[in-house]
Amino acid sequence: MREYCFIDLFAGCGGLSEGFYRRGYHALAHVEINPAACETLRTRMRHYGYENAGEAVLEMDITREDVLERMEKAVGGRKVDLIIGGPPCQAYSSLGRAKDDHGMQEDPRNYLFESYVKVLNHYLPRFFVFENVTGLLTAKIKGEHIVNRVVEALGEHYKVKFDPGMNVLNSANYGVPQIRKRVIIMGVRRDLKTEPEEMYEAVKKTHYDPEMPEESRGSLEKYVTVRDAIGELPFLRQGEGAPEIPFQYTYGNDFLQKIGAPGLKVLRDHVARGHNETDMQRYETMAKNHWTFQEMLEKREDLRHEKARVFGNSYTVQWWDLPSKTIIAHLYKDGNQFIHPDYRQRRTFTVREAARIQSFPDDFIFRGPRTEQFKQIGNAVPPLLAEAIAAAMLVKLRETDSEEAGNDISLSR
C-alpha cells in the first residue's frame, strides 16, 4: 500500500500534521514563519525518522514571491496528494475584531488565504483541508463575508461545499478533552467522482459533547474530561516543577492510551507559573466553591480586581468533570482563564497540561521559551481531531487511487 504525501501550510507547531503522521502519511514540506514553531516542527519530524527536517521545514513568509521555488526544492518532484493548513486566525477571530478599532478591516492577514490558494493551484493535489476559527463565518471586509471569498477562491479547481452545520467540527466529538469548534473546509479536485459531503461523512464522531441532546448521542462515548487528561499529573504549587522530571505514566484511561508513549519515563514542561498572592486566593476560592468569576466578585469583595475592565471570563476554572474551554494562544500572557480545578494547587495550567488538553502526545517536544510554547499550543489544531480528518482522507485517497490511474488528468499547472 503506497504512502500518501502532504504539504502543511501555516503549519504552526504541527498539530494538524501530527494527526496525519499518526495515520502514516509522509510530510513533504511545512511552511511556517515563526522560528520557535519551526524548531518544534523539525524536532517532531526527526522523532518520526525524517533525515531532511532542516530542508522540509521552510521558515519563511508564505507571501514571498519565491515561495513556490523554495517549496519545489523541498518537495523534490514527489507527488503531492494533499495540502493541509489554515491561515493565522487573529484577523477572523471575534476577539481580534473586538480589540481593533477598525474590526481588523485593514489587517493583511485577511488575505493570507490567497497564498494558500496559490500553492494549492500549483500542485493540484486530489484533496485539501483548510482550517480556521468560527469567526471566519461572520468576518466581513467592506461589507462582504470573507468566507464567501475564501470558498470561491478554493473552488477554482475543486468541488467545495460550504454549510456551517457540516463544516464546523467540535474537537470534543473526536475524543479531545476540550470544547473547540473550528471551521474545516475540505475540497475535492473536480476531475474526481468523490463529493465533498462524502469527506465529512467519513470524519466519524466518537464522543458526544455536553451540549449534545441525549436523543442524538446514540452509541457515542461520553466526552473526555479535564480529569481524564491531567488528573494523574504531579501536584504543583505556583513556581514549582521542572522542564524534565522522572515520571511513571499510568495510561489509566482510553485518552491517555491514545496520547501516551510506551517506554517514556520523563515528564516534560510541567512547570507552574509564578502568581501573586491575591490571584492565588482568587484561584483557590473559585475552585473550592465552584464559583464563576462574577460569583466571586459578588461574594468576596476583598478579591475584586483592581482594574475596571472586568469580564465574566477573565478568570475561569476548568472543571474536573467537563471538557476544558477552548485553549487559546493568550495563555502566553497569563493563564487566568485556565485555573486548575484542584483548589489546593492555587495555580493555572502548565504547558504540559495545556498540551494534554489539546491532545498532544506526551512525547511531543515544544521548542522555545514558555511563552512561545503556550502560543504554539493555543494556535494548534488538536492532533486527535486532525487524526480523525486524516483517517477520513485516507479512505477517500484509497478509493480514488484506481480512479485517478484511469484518468487522463488535463488540469494545467
Residue of 101 and 330 predicted with greater confidence: 330
Closest by CA position to 376, among listed 329, 343, 410: 329
Q: What does the pLDDT look like over 247-262, one tens digit per residue? A: 999 899 999 999 999 9
C-alpha grid cell for residue 45?
519530524
* Residue 370: half-sphere exposure toward Cβ, Cα within 13 Å: 20
Does pTM surpass 0.85?
yes
C-alpha 234/C-alpha 402 separation (Å) is 51
Is the predicted pLDDT of residue 406 greater than 70, yes or no? no
Query: Can you tell me the mean pLDDT for 341-348?
Result: 98
Query: pLDDT digits over 3-29, tens only?
Result: 999 999 999 999 999 999 999 999 999
Residue 403: pLDDT band (50, 70, 90) is: confident
The single residue of 5, 13, 38, 89 carrying the catalytic annotation is: 89
5 is catalytic: no
223 vs 301: which has the higher pLDDT: 223
105 has pLDDT over 60: no
216 phi and psi, to 5 degrees?
A: -95, -5
Give residue 106's pLDDT band: very low, low, confident or very high (50, 70, 90): very low
- pLDDT tens digits, one per residue of 261-284: 999 999 999 999 999 999 999 999
Which stretches within 105-242 are classed as H helix?
Answer: 113-123, 146-154, 164-167, 196-202, 214-217, 226-230
User: DSSP readout, 367-408?
Assistant: -S-HHHHHHHHHHSPPHHHHHHHHHHHHHHHHHHHHHHHTS-
* Strands (E) located in 202-344: 241-246, 266-271
Q: Mind listing the pLDDT tens digit for each residue in 27-38? A: 999 999 999 999
